[in-house]
Amino acid sequence: MQYFDHNATYPLSPAAREAWLSAVERFPANPSSPHRWGARSEQALSEARARVAAWLGCPADAILWTSGATEANNAWVGHLAQASRGPVLLSGLEHPSVRVPASRVLGGRCEAMPVLPEGVVAVDWIARRLRRGDVSAGVLVAANNETGVLQPWREVRDLCREAGVTFACDASQWVGKLPTDGLGHCDFVSACAHKFGGPVGVGFLRVPDGFLPSLRGGPQEDGRRAGTENVAGVLSMVAALEERQKALAGDVAAEVDRQALRDQWIARLQSEVPGVEILGSPAPRLWNTVAALMPPAADCRRRWVVRLDRLGFAVSTGSACSSGKEVPSPVLESMGRPPGASDRMIRFSSGWETPPAAWDELLRAIVQIASEFGLR
């Protein structure tokens, strides 16, 4: 099977697997336990915390371990609900783990940021809105999981900072694919291991001083996130991220090459299958993601996924959370697409290890299916 669904979950990397197996042997004790074994687990966690903090550029005690990005996002939404009263700016580009809790606990305080047709938030509007005053927080996903479009989170972070407004960034699809520096200057940052080769069920959250926790009932993480820490998961996540950080630091040109490869592939796709539209183009996008609107055909996206699956390719219809459910994507709606557009959307998301030949094979399969559907 050729796997093109890394944005949903990334297979465990060999280094992460090795680190997990070694950690369960070496650190069997609860980090909160008072004996030496407990202290050793606690020490391993604190070394891991220092490394993640250094990659982000923030103090080590600002990093909390979580069960993933859904928990992390819910945690900072919960903080905003308790700690502030004014409007919170956010857009339809957010993952459901931000959008849904925000509309539930912030309700009428949510104010929609406009989104440009290529899937980027309108920074000018944000700047003007912040100048008008009374805003409590700005929220922006770093890279959208459905389209791969990169958001101007650094600009929005700085605008929020100048206005004295809290800024929260869901960096789940960014971390492990692009450099992490500067993320630590956001007030809140969420990420999860299984988007970059670490295990499922572990992540981290960067919090500011005065964070108001919602998960209570234990003294862990200095009372800011109750629940026994997942030591092996954290060490495995850090091993996976270390590999990605090294790759990113070692070869900046490689990212440009990967983008060029993606764009050449898109050009070939569009010439072989007329009518394919690429969501988010020409905005900067993740090097690994191609979100294609296929030409109209009945029950379109499901038929594409099933046919590609039969030919040995795992692809997705968009976010993992909405796969298989015929609901219009709020991401596409916020980009001004009609509700039916998500029914034609297929997402191809590769990994660091995906060879160019796998993209060639994928294209051949798409062309074959397009011929069967009478689209070429």
CB-wise, 180 or 370, nearer to ligand PLP?
Answer: 180
Q: Do you know the residue count of the chain?
A: 376
Cβ of residue 40: shortest distance to ligand PLP, in angstroms? 27
The smaller minimum CB distance to ligand PLP, of residues 130 and 290, is found at 290
Number of residues that bind ligand PLP (CB under 6 A): 15
197 binds ligand PLP, rule: CB under 6 A: no
Q: Specify the residue, 67 or 259, whose C-beta has the smaller distance to ligand PLP.
A: 67
Neighbours of 360 (CB within 10 A): 12
Binding of ligand PLP by 280 (CB under 6 A): no
Q: Does 69 bind ligand PLP (CB under 6 A)?
A: yes
Stretch that binds ligand PLP, among 165-173, 255-263, 329-337, 351-359 (CB under 6 A): 165-173
82, containing H or E segment: helix 69-83
The count of C-alpha atoms lying within 13 angstroms of the C-alpha of 245, restricted to the half-sphere facing its C-beta, is 14
* Cβ atoms of residues 81 and 105 within 8 Å: yes
Instruction: State how far the Cα of 255 lies from the Cα of 247, in Å rounded to an integer.
Output: 10
Residue 105 found at the interface with ligand PLP (CB under 6 A): no
Q: Is the peptide bond before 330 cis (omega within 30 degrees of 0)?
A: no
Residue whose tokens read 């687990």: 41
Q: Does 320 bind ligand PLP (CB under 6 A)?
A: yes
If one asks whether residue 243 binds ligand PLP (CB under 6 A), the answer comes out as no
Residue 97 is a binding residue for ligand PLP (CB under 6 A) = yes
* Binding flag, residue 95, ligand PLP (CB under 6 A): yes
110: annotated active-site residue: no
Answer yes or no whether residue 70 interacts with ligand PLP by CB under 6 A. Answer: yes
Q: Are 193 and 240 in contact (CB under 8 A)?
A: yes
Give the closest residue to 236 by CA, choosing from 197, 282, 198.
Answer: 198
d(CA 349, CA 364): 17
Residues that bind ligand PLP (CB under 6 A): 68-70, 73, 95, 97, 141, 145, 170, 172-173, 192, 203, 319-320
